[in-house]
Amino acid sequence: MLVAERVRKHRNKLREKGYRPIQIWVPDTRSPEFIEECRKQSQQLKDDPQEKEVLSWIEKGADLSEWE
């Protein structure tokens, strides 16, 4: 069976179950522009007191037991 035929059958089964395909466009996190924008925004928050407060709150509530 050709790959295209298998894919068509699989998609038809999903449609029969009430699903429909969608396409989502997201930022390319590998692009230099994206990386630079992340750096820029991170630097802007570096000494922000509210950012420190939020990060502290998240850390207190986070379950990190399985990270060790």
Q: What is the per-residue pLDDT across 28-64, written as a single tens digit (0 to 9) for each?
A: 999 999 999 999 999 999 999 999 999 999 999 999 8
* Residue 66 in this model has a pLDDT that exceeds 90: no
**Is 90 exceeded by the pLDDT of residue 15?**
yes
**pLDDT value of position 29:** 97
- Which pLDDT does position 64 carry in this prediction? 85
Burial status of residue 28 (CB atoms within 10 A of its CB: 0-12, 13-18, 19 or more): exposed
pLDDT number for residue 1: 72
Q: How many helices and strands, by DSSP H and E, does the chain display?
A: 3, 0
Per-residue model confidence (pLDDT) at position 61: 92
